């Protein structure tokens, strides 16, 4: 798994359990809030039941007073009429009031001549009265949606005082209850028909709910809560149910569930939203952190892959101070070094290839010349002059071959650390004369003016005579090679500050300044510099390259510097492109019968 994936998993692993705990807590809070709302609804229903019960009780009061009359007064219909009238008069919603004996005969009724009780109702009321139960009956015989409440108070002799009250009177007590918003109060009689409904439609009055199963919860206990979709207005409500004492009536207070649970729902939604916002913020933060860590690692790994595939310029991001940036910086430093080393290897490789082809060329060219000349020498009738010329050329080419082989041998000795030189007394003036003499032939071939300037009296130098000769010869040969035909080459020697200096001055092409630091490197061979205007008259670049002997393998100066340093000396170069070069060999002066180091050693021994 990627680093980003792992960090995200870590963040999710931390946040998700927290989220689950948070949501569970919310669910518990939600359940608690619902429970609270339900209980308050149950209390509302109980309150409505109490209000209704009290109202009924208030209606009973005058009935009980009359029912408690002595026997004689209960049988005296004329005085009873006056009592009934007095009881009815202040109660506008009472329809009529009557006294019945135990046999069901009406003893007195007010107003007189009013309608008789419907069959069944009178019997039931009398039956209840005889059993001593004060009951309320609903008389539905009045037609659609209209009804009358019939109350009976038992007399001592088994009769009853019965009042009939217009059902519309119920509005008064039940409308006075303070209820929650959009609450619906419904009152049901014993037969579970609606006798009061606080909301329209009116047609709901008389609606039979006995089949709806709504009140089955009430059969088991005195109060309950149910959630039901109303068959009247099709609204889903939570109902609080309560029985109204011994009347057999029930009260339902219903509130649409959406309204009842709205506050709890709002709170839950708020908490859930906050949780979600926290979750997403955490995830976004985790994502950003994961990105900020994974991106540099990815770039670093990309850079290493690129580097591994050979793109040595690939670099990792290294800005910043964190560990990954530091790792990137270390990688970059390493890549920098490897890139330089690689470039160096490539350069060495190139130089080596050039060296191999150069050596082959250097070996083949003189051999070809020697072979051709020996064939010519074998011809009959060759003039003495030609024969001498051919033999001289063969000798020069042989010297070149020997020089090359000696250079190669020196290289392998220097590389193997077994190059040995001697420290002898060298007469520099004599050496200069000798080198000029041996190189004259080559210089003449290129029409150069090669000469040694008078040097006067010189102290002897300390050097390996053979090695020094080869170094000097190589420098003179370079002057001959890298100076266009007809050049001027001067050798001179002088003494300066305990050193003997040998200078070779030419007016050749010179060496570009940018090549100076690598001039003495192994296999270095400079690009031919363009001809100066003065030289251009004599030869074009192409001609120069074709005609001039600019072959070589890039070893002369490398070996020269090594040999000079081993002799305790050095080589200095001053050069300007188009004007020429001056190579100066610095050698220690031979003193007190030895070289300085030898002399020091000798002194130490002594
Ligand atoms: P080689 O002559 O075989 O190339 P050297 O080590 O002697 O190798 O010289 C290295 C390079 O230095 C030459 O290829 C040439 O470009 C430059 N060089 C040396 N001497 C001179 C000179 N006198 N004038 C101009 N360039 C020179």
362, 473, 482, 582: residue to mutate for ligand 1 pocket, most atoms within 8 A of CB: 482
Both 443 and 511 in a single domain?
yes
Please report whether residue 310 resides in a domain.
Answer: no
510, 526, 551: residue to mutate for ligand 1 pocket, most atoms within 8 A of CB: 526
Q: Is 135 in the pocket of ligand 1 (CB under 6 A)?
A: no
Q: Answer with the one of 220, 241, 260 that is the final residue of a domain.
A: 260
Q: Is 506 in the pocket of ligand 1 (CB under 6 A)?
A: yes
Peptide bond into 242 cis (omega under 30): no
pLDDT tens digits for 149-160? Answer: 888 888 888 888
Does 462 score more than 80 pLDDT? yes
Please report whether residue 200 resides in a domain.
Answer: yes
Both 142 and 205 in a single domain?
yes
pLDDT, average across residues 245-259: 85
pLDDT, average across residues 44-52: 89
Q: Is 476 in the pocket of ligand 1 (CB under 6 A)?
A: no
Please report whether residue 199 resides in a domain.
Answer: yes
Q: Can you give the pLDDT at residue 550? A: 67
pLDDT tens digits for 262-279? Answer: 888 888 888 888 888 888
Q: Can you give the pLDDT at residue 13? A: 84
Domain enclosing residue 105, as ranges: 8-260
CATH code (residue 24): 3.30.450.20
Please report whether residue 403 resides in a domain.
Answer: no
Both 447 and 334 in a single domain?
no
Distance CA 292, CA 287 (A): 8
Alpha carbon of 519 to ligand 1 centroid (Å): 8
Q: Is 526 in the pocket of ligand 1 (CB under 6 A)?
A: yes
Q: Is 186 in the pocket of ligand 1 (CB under 6 A)?
A: no
Please report whether residue 309 resides in a domain.
Answer: no
State the average pLDDT for the chain: 84
pLDDT tens digits for 315-345? Answer: 888 887 888 888 888 989 999 999 899 888 8
pLDDT, average across residues 62-71: 89
Are 351 and 523 in contact by the 8 Å Cβ rule? The answer is: yes
Atom of ligand 1 nearest to the CA of 583: 23
414, 521, 557, 574: residue to mutate for ligand 1 pocket, most atoms within 8 A of CB: 557
Both 215 and 339 in a single domain?
no
In which residue are the tokens 């009152």 written? 187
Return the H-helix or E-strand segment holding 264: helix 262-308
| Confidence at 469, pLDDT banded by 50, 70, 90 | very high
Both 71 and 177 in a single domain?
yes
Please state, as a whole number, how many other Cβ atoms lie within 10 Å of the Cβ of residue 583: 25
Q: Answer with the one of 242, 260, 278 that is the final residue of a domain.
A: 260
pLDDT tens digits for 201-228? Answer: 666 777 777 666 667 766 666 677 888 7
Alpha carbon of 510 to ligand 1 centroid (Å): 9
Does 547 score more than 50 pLDDT? no
Q: Is 556 in the pocket of ligand 1 (CB under 6 A)?
A: yes
Q: Whose CA is nearest to atom 7 of ligand 1?
A: 556
Both 110 and 249 in a single domain?
yes
- Percent of the chain with pLDDT strictly greater than 70: 91
Q: Is 552 in the pocket of ligand 1 (CB under 6 A)?
A: yes
In which residue are the tokens 């180091």 written? 597
Both 552 and 462 in a single domain?
yes
Q: Is 271 in the pocket of ligand 1 (CB under 6 A)?
A: no
Q: Can you give the pLDDT at residue 217? A: 67
pLDDT, average across residues 228-245: 82
**pTM of the entire predicted model:** 0.49
Alpha carbon of 503 to ligand 1 centroid (Å): 16
Both 232 and 153 in a single domain?
yes
Alpha carbon of 351 to ligand 1 centroid (Å): 14
| Confidence at 134, pLDDT banded by 50, 70, 90 | low
Distance CA 337, CA 340 (A): 5
Q: Is 484 in the pocket of ligand 1 (CB under 6 A)?
A: no
Of residues 191 and 550, the one with the higher pLDDT is 191
Both 319 and 440 in a single domain?
no
Please report whether residue 255 resides in a domain.
Answer: yes
- Determine whether 557 is exposed, middle or buried from the number of CB atoms within 10 Å of its CB (0-12, 13-18, 19+): buried
Distance CA 123, CA 113 (A): 20
Q: Is 508 in the pocket of ligand 1 (CB under 6 A)?
A: yes
| Confidence at 284, pLDDT banded by 50, 70, 90 | confident
Q: Is 555 in the pocket of ligand 1 (CB under 6 A)?
A: yes
Q: Answer with the one of 260, 295, 330 that is the final residue of a domain.
A: 260
Q: Is 571 in the pocket of ligand 1 (CB under 6 A)?
A: no
Alpha carbon of 534 to ligand 1 centroid (Å): 21
Both 12 and 124 in a single domain?
yes
Which residues are 581's β-sheet partners?
A: 575
pLDDT, average across residues 511-526: 91
Atom of ligand 1 nearest to the CA of 504: 23
| Confidence at 548, pLDDT banded by 50, 70, 90 | very low
Alpha carbon of 504 to ligand 1 centroid (Å): 13
Q: Is 482 in the pocket of ligand 1 (CB under 6 A)?
A: yes
Distance CA 161, CA 102 (A): 11
Atom of ligand 1 nearest to the CA of 580: 24
Atom of ligand 1 nearest to the CA of 478: 20
Distance CA 400, CA 441 (A): 13
Q: Can you give the pLDDT at residue 200? A: 67
Q: Can you give the pLDDT at residue 580? A: 95
Distance CA 36, CA 34 (A): 5
Q: Whose CA is nearest to atom 19 of ligand 1?
A: 478
Range 485-488 contact pairs with CB under 8 angstroms and sequence separation of 24 or more: 485/446, 485/447, 485/448, 485/538, 485/539, 485/547, 485/548, 486/446, 486/447, 486/448, 486/449, 486/538, 487/446, 487/448, 487/449, 488/448, 488/449
Does 258 score more than 50 pLDDT? yes
Cβ neighbours for 180, distance < 8 A, ≥ 6 positions apart: 40, 41, 44, 255, 259, 260
Q: Whose CA is nearest to atom 20 of ligand 1?
A: 478
Q: Can you give the pLDDT at residue 606? A: 35
Q: Is 507 in the pocket of ligand 1 (CB under 6 A)?
A: no
Please report whether residue 543 resides in a domain.
Answer: yes
Q: Is 520 in the pocket of ligand 1 (CB under 6 A)?
A: no
Please report whether residue 369 resides in a domain.
Answer: yes
Please count the structural domains in the chain: 3
Distance CA 273, CA 211 (A): 43
Q: Is 318 in the pocket of ligand 1 (CB under 6 A)?
A: no
Does 604 score more than 60 pLDDT? no
Does 497 score more than 70 pLDDT? yes
Both 234 and 108 in a single domain?
yes
Q: Is 524 in the pocket of ligand 1 (CB under 6 A)?
A: yes
Both 46 and 153 in a single domain?
yes
Per DSSP, the residues of 441-476 read HHHHHTT-EEEE----S-PPEEE-HHHHHHHHHHHH
Q: Can you give the pLDDT at residue 512? A: 94
CATH code (residue 475): 3.30.565.10
Of residues 528 and 62, the one with the higher pLDDT is 62
Q: Is 578 in the pocket of ligand 1 (CB under 6 A)?
A: no
């Amino acid at each position: 798994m990627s680093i980003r994936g792992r960090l995200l998993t870590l963040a999710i692993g931390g946040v998700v359990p927290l989220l689950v705990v948070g949501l569970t807590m919310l669910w518990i809070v939600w359940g608690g809030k619902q429970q609270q709302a339900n209980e308050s609804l149950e209390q509302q229903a109980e309150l409505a039941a109490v209000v209704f019960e009290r109202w009924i009780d208030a209606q009973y009061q005058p009935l009980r007073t009359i029912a408690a009359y002595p026997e004689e007064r209960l049988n005296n219909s004329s005085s009873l009429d006056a009592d009934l009238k007095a009881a009815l008069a202040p109660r506008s919603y009472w329809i009529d009031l009557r006294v019945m004996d135990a046999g069901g005969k009406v003893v007195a009724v007010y107003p007189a001549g009013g309608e008789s009780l419907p069959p069944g109702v009178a019997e039931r009321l009398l039956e209840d009265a005889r059993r001593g139960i004060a009951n309320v009956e609903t008389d539905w015989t009045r037609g659609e949606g209209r009804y009358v409440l019939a109350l009976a108070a038992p007399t001592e002799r088994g009769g009853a005082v019965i009042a009939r009250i217009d059902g519309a009177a119920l509005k008064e007590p039940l409308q006075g209850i303070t209820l929650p918003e959009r609450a619906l109060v419904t009152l049901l009689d014993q037969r579970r028909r609606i006798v009061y409904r606080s909301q329209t439609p009116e047609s709901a009055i008389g609606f039979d709910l006995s089949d709806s199963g709504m009140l089955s919860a009430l059969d088991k206990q005195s109060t309950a809560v149910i959630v039901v979709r109303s068959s009247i207005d099709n609204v889903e409500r939570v109902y609080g149910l309560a029985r109204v004492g011994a009347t057999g009536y029930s009260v339902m207070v219903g509130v649409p569930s959406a309204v009842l649970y709205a506050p709890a729902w709002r709170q839950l939604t708020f908490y859930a939203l906050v949780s979600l916002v926290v979750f997403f913020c955490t995830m976004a933060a985790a994502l950003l952190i994961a990105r900020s860590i994974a991106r540099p690692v990815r770039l670093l790994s990309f850079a290493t892959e690129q580097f591994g595939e050979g793109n040595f310029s690939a670099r990792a991001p290294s800005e910043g101070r964190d560990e990954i940036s530091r790792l990137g910086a270390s990688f970059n430093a390493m890549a920098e070094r490897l890139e330089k080393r690689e470039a160096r290897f490539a350069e060495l490789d190139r130089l080596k290839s050039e060296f191999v082809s150069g050596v082959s060329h250097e070996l083949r060219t003189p051999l070809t010349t020697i072979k051709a000349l020996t064939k010519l020498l074998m011809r009959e009738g060759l003039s003495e002059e030609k024969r001498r010329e051919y033999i001289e050329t063969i000798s020069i080419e042989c010297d070149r071959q020997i020089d090359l082989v000696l250079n190669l041998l020196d290289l392998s000795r220097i590389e193997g650390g077994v190059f040995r030189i001697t420290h002898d007394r060298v007469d520099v003036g004599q050496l200069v004369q000798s080198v000029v003499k041996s190189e004259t032939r080559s210089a003449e071939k290129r029409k150069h003016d090669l000469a040694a300037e008078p040097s006067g009296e010189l102290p002897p130098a300390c050097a390996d005579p053979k090695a020094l000769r080869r170094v000097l010869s190589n420098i003179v040969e370079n002057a001959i090679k890298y100076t266009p035909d007809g050049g001027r080459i001067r050798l001179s020697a002088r003494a300066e500050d305990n050193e003997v200096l040998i200078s070779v001055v030419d007016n050749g092409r010179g060496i570009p300044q940018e090549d100076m630091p690598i001039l003495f490197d192994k296999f270095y061979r400079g690009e031919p510099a363009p001809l100066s205007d003065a030289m251009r008259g004599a030869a074009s670049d192409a001609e120069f390259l074709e005609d001039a002997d600019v072959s070589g393998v890039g070893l002369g100066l490398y070996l020269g510097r090594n040999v000079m340093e081993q002799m305790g000396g050095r080589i200095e170069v001053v050069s300007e492109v188009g004007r020429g070069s001056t190579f100066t060999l610095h050698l220690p002066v031979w003193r007190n019968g030895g070289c300085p180091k030898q002399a020091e050693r000798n002194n130490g021994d002594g």
